[in-house]
Amino acid sequence: MILTTGGTGYIGSHTVVELLNAGFEVLIVDDLSNSEKEVVQRIEKITNKKVAFEEIDLKNKEKTFAIFEKYPTINAIVHFAASKAVGESVEKPLMYYENNIGSLINLLQASAKYEINNFVFSSSCTVYGQPNVLPVTENTPRCEAESPYGNTKKIAEDILKDTAFADKTFKSIALRYFNPIGAHPTGLIGELPRGVPANLIPFVTQTAFGLRKELSIFGNDYNTPDGTCIRDYINVVDLAKAHVISIKRLLENKNKSNYEFFNIGTGKGSTVLEVVKAFEKSTGVKVNYKIVAKRPGDIEKIWADTTYANIELGWKAETGLEETLASAWKWEKNYRA
Ligand code: UFG
């Protein structure tokens, strides 16, 4: 059984679907602080399989340990549960360190006690900051984090590396996501931001739907072909599949070292304006936008070199940008219907 923390969240829910499709039994643990319980039923509808669910806050050590008593067949963990709003983390750093690092430590202590030695972690390309050389490979040095959120990802990677060094039986893989977007092709699960979306794609789909008057594009005088920032937008289902491959790699002892990390992106950068145009082309719906001031802390450009993941994991992003944006639009419409 695969324990998936944060399994009702955006990337977690898509990963649970792929794990179930691959034949794994799954237990979701989530505190529902940023997701809905109904996602569990939606996952079951998509897969026609049952998934176990426990509403638990991993900051609670006793309850975290109790999970492993109750589900003795857990043999691997995919750990998504974390707070993820960059701006909020600047305002509430302690909350971010407590949520993201405190829960990781509890989980690792429980893993050690119950001898669960296979651990996949959701990291982020945020660990690279603004790299000097593009695209970024896994050898690109990590830099000083730009936010407490980013720092929690960096610290968590270090914790995993140190744990794997100290305990030779413990194996972990950190996946450094670039910008996950899109939704399951059924339109039954997707990204569900609370309040005004901070991220580009939910803002685009909500604007297209008429919930927002216009998209604000943050800056158009960056050193990029059209002046807007470049990101590597990765389809969330493709991303989910990277977790299944990583879990299998650990369970089959195919890992090359006890702590590995991989870039998970498409290898292709797109500007904000290119994304807006691709959305309009694939959906036929216009997106009103205006150019506004740069957003503080935004990185000018980043995209992944995915060669290592392609070769070592045998994983590759398969879905194109337009198809992915169409899936985000389908989800937005389904959800609002
Ligand atoms: N953008 C806009 N308008 C918006 C929202 C975003 O123009 O309303 C632009 C941003 O300036 C940026 C691009 O769209 O150029 C993507 O922005 P997102 O907020 O969607 O994503 P970020 O790249 O800023 O952040 C994402 C994750 C973070 C993670 C980071 C790692 O949301 O959790 O990647 O680099 F830390």
Give the pLDDT mean for 280-295: 98
pLDDT classification of 298: cutoffs 50, 70, 90? very high
User: HEC string of 22-87?
Assistant: CCCCEEEEECCCCCCCHHHHHHHHHHCCCCEEEECCCCCHHHHHHHHHHCCCCCEEEECCCCCCHH
User: What's the rounded Cα separation, in Å, for the pair 266 and 233?
Assistant: 7
pLDDT at 337 over 90: no
Please tell me what DSSP assigns to residue 147: S
Residue 321: per-residue pLDDT? 98
Bridge partners (DSSP) of residue 30 are 55
* Residue 59 pLDDT level (bands cut at 50, 70, 90): very high
Residue 29 pLDDT > 90: yes
Instruction: Give the whole-angstrom CA distance, residue 209 versus residue 3.
Output: 36
Task: Give the SS3 label for residue 113.
Answer: helix
Active site residue: 10, 96, 128, 149, which one? 149
Counting from 1 in the atom list of ligand 1, the atom nearest the Cα of 124 is: 31
CA distance 325 to 218: 20
What local confidence, expressed as pLDDT, does residue 144 receive?
93
Phi, psi of 215 (to 5 degrees): -85, 135
For residue 335, the CA-to-ligand 1 centroid distance in Å is 23
- Give this prediction's pTM: 0.98
Task: Tell me the two tokens of residue 45.
Answer: 């509808």
Instruction: Name the average pLDDT for the chain.
Output: 97
Which atom of ligand 1 is nearest the CA belonging to 84? 33
Q: Does residue 149 carry a catalytic annotation?
A: yes
pLDDT in tens, 184-201: 999 999 999 999 999 999
Give the residue among 97, 129, 86 at the shortest CA–CA distance from 295: 86
Local confidence band at 158 (pLDDT 50, 70, 90 cut-offs): very high
Alpha carbon distances (Å) from 125 to 149, 164, 188, 334: 12, 21, 27, 30
Residue 71 β-bridge partners: none
Please give the share of the chain, as a percent, with pLDDT higher than 70: 100
CA of 185 to the centre of ligand 1 (A): 23
Q: Is 289 a pocket residue for ligand 1 (Cβ < 6 Å)?
A: no
pLDDT tens per residue, range 199-208: 999 999 999 9
Specify the amino acid at residue 261. Answer: F
Tell me the mean pLDDT in the region 223-252: 98
pLDDT digits (tens, 9 = 90+) for 81-107: 999 999 999 999 999 999 999 999 999
The residue nearest atom 33 of ligand 1, judged by CA position, is 84
pLDDT for the residue 74: 98
Burial of 194 (C-beta count, 10 Å sphere; 0-12/13-18/19+): exposed
Give the whole-angstrom CA distance, residue 317 versus residue 262.
13
Q: How far is the CA of 127 from the centre of ligand 1 (A)?
A: 14
Contact 31, 25 (CB under 8 A): no
Residue whose CA is at the smallest distance from ligand 1 atom 26: 179
Answer yes or no: is pLDDT of 302 > 90: yes
Answer whether 307's CB lies under 8 Å from 264's CB. Answer: no
**Helical pair 272-283 and 321-336, crossing angle rounded to 10 deg:** 70
Residue having the nearest C-alpha atom to atom 20 of ligand 1: 199
pLDDT score for 180: 98
Cα–Cα dist 157/152, whole Å? 9
Q: Is 216 in the pocket of ligand 1 (CB under 6 A)?
A: yes
Pocket test for ligand 1, best of 298, 300, 321 (most atoms within 8 A of CB): 298
Q: Is the pLDDT of residue 1 over 90?
A: yes
Q: Is the CB of 198 under 6 A from ligand 1?
A: yes
